[in-house]
Structures are given as C-alpha cells and as structure tokens.
Amino acid sequence: MSKPKVIVTRKWPIEVEAQLKSLYDVQLNESDTPMTADELKHALLTADALLPTVTDLITADILNIEGKRTKIIGNFGVGYNNIDINAAKSQGLVVTNTPHVLTDCTADIAMLLLLMSARRASEGERLLRNRQWTGWRPTHMLGQKVTGKTLGLIGFGRIAQAMAKKAHYGFGMKILFYAPSQPAQSIIDDLQATRCETVEELLIEANFVSLHCPGGDATRHLINEQRLKLMRPSAHLINTARGDVVDSKALIKALKEGWIAGAGLDVFEGEPNIDPDFLELDNVTLLPHLGSATEETRIAMGNRVLENIAAFFAGEEPGDRVA
C-alpha cells in the first residue's frame, strides 16, 4: 500500500523532517522559501495532506481550486487565522493546529518583552553598540519598576494564564484580565486575579497590558487610537498574539506623542514587512516573531502535526481539529 503524499510548506526541525521521511511520501521545502499562491494550489492538487505554517496565507481562492487531492491541512502553529476556515469547512477539509506545546515559551517571550520595555533594555543595548554610553549617572535611562505592578491580560487562555503565573509568583504582580468567557474559578483564585468587564476598564487600570487574543476580523485593531489614549502615560503594551490586533499607525502615534511609555512587539501587521516608523522609535522593543522559537517547542509542534495527520490517515478523529 502506497504512503500518503505530504507537502510541507517551510523547513521544519530536522528531527521532525526525519520522521516525515520515514512515514510518508513527503515533499520538503529545503530552501525554506515561502510558497506562492499557485504553488499552494498545486500542493492541494497533488498531496493528501498540506502542512503549512501560520505565515502561509491559505485563502478561499486557494482552497476552492477544483480537483483537490488534499483532505487535511495540518497547520504548524496554535493560531489558524492564516486559513480561511469557512472555505475549508465548505470544501470538507479537516484543519488541525498545535495547541498546548508552545504555551510556556510564548509566555516567556511576553515576560521578556515586558521586562525589556519597562527597563529600556533595547535602547540601552543600542547605546552601547553605538559606543555612545558615557558612564553611569543617577538620572540616566530611568525606566519603570515591574515588581508589584498591575498586569492586564486581554484574552485569558493558556498562554495568558502562563504569563500571569510567572508575573504573579515571580514578580508579585497584581493580575487583571478581560476575556469573553469565564475561566475556572480555581484559576482565578490561584492567581488572585480580577476579571474586568470591558477592555476599557482594564486599559485604564493596568501598568502593563499584554495581548493574548486570537487574530482575525473580530479582533482586528482591537487596540486602536481611542483605546490607547485610555492607557496610563507610564504604561507599556505587549503583543505576542497577532499583529493585526493592534493598529500600527495608532501605536506609533501613541509612542511618539507619549500617550504610553513603551511597547514590546513580537508580531506585526503584514509581517515580515513592518512599518518603518517603528524603527525610528527608542521606546519600542521589536522581536522577529520568536514566541515559540525554542528547539524543544518547535520539535513538539512538529510532532503534534504528525500526531494529527497520523490519526486522520488511520480513520480516527485528530486530537487538535479546528475544522
């Protein structure tokens, strides 16, 4: 019996690629060059499973191509707003993601950005690298204290809860959160957290605001000019969720005009292209989408995809099915 044909859109950890080679008739992306829309369409025509990443835009136009061979899309990432889920459902395609395994590492990056923004770490390193540091002095590069401050989380899923735990138990931070659904009371009690009724209430109260909501039309520009103006002048905004949750132009204006003290961003609208005005600002920390970028996590994500497609090809329900 022939092996299922699998096409992988980007380069994956070598350990996972080795498993793919042993289990499937696999087409890997050795050059790690993003696939074009036409290449993605061809993949759907020729493979039993397509394994994209969160940066591969799988549109309705791509999914609606006639004569598809593909029956399952195993997305490498917990987010799946890169895929037109409604179109996938209408075409009878199964879609899976990779939750749970990247929780701690993404929460770590959120805390890293919070600390770097609060203590002006990126600005300080640039000063040293540019050979502009003239020595210690009492009023030089004063930032914001983190310990004991209030952290507001917009979205309160696994990653937000992991960040809250690190912030509360590691830095004695008070936890506020806004979420459409009510989490278990035991989680709230453990973190001594307070639920806010609105995003606005959280923005007004928090010293640090960290975004953990999904991307997509429902949350596009959730953080806009009006809401940024509600934040404290000493506050910092952290985004490890999706770039389009924040209106980039509004955030740049807020940082330039001092509505808030700083921001830490791991995701951007239209990445890898980012608004060049961000590069001119000292009070923003920029990372190239490193949330899950550890060896352990990326291997675990790949293995999660393997588990999902193995279940599907065995006639079983994939554990991480989202469509």
Strand partners, 94: 72
Neighbours of 44 (CB within 10 A): 22
Q: Examine the residue annotation and report whether 321 is marked as an active-site residue of this protein.
A: no
Q: Examine the residue annotation and report whether 289 is marked as an active-site residue of this protein.
A: yes
Q: Would you call the peptide bond into 272 cis, given omega within 30 degrees of 0 as the criterion? A: yes
The per-residue DSSP string of 211-280 comes to E----SGGGTTSB-HHHHTTS-TT-EEEE-S-GGGB-HHHHHHHHHHTSSSEEEES--TTTTS--GGGGG
Spatial neighbors of 315 by CB under 8 A, at least 6 apart, are none
Give the per-residue SS3 of 74-128. ECECCCCCCECHHHHHHCCCEEECCCCCCHHHHHHHHHHHHHHHHCCHHHHHHHH
Q: Examine the residue annotation and report whether 137 is marked as an active-site residue of this protein.
A: no
DSSP 271: T
| E-assigned strand segments in the chain | 5-8, 25-27, 49-51, 72-74, 94-96, 150-154, 174-178, 194-195, 208-211, 236-239, 262-265, 284-286
- Dihedral over alpha carbons 294, 98, 18, 312 (to 10 degrees): 170
- Residue in the structure block whose two tokens are 């990056």: 109
**Active site residue: 225, 271, 307, 321, which one?**
271
Of 97, 54, 74, nearest to 7 (Cα)?
74
**Active site residue: 119, 212, 242, 298, which one?**
242
Do residues 153 and 178 touch, judged by C-beta distance below 8 A?
A: yes
**Active site residue: 10, 168, 221, 289, which one?**
289
Give the catalytic positions in this structure.
Answer: 242, 271, 289
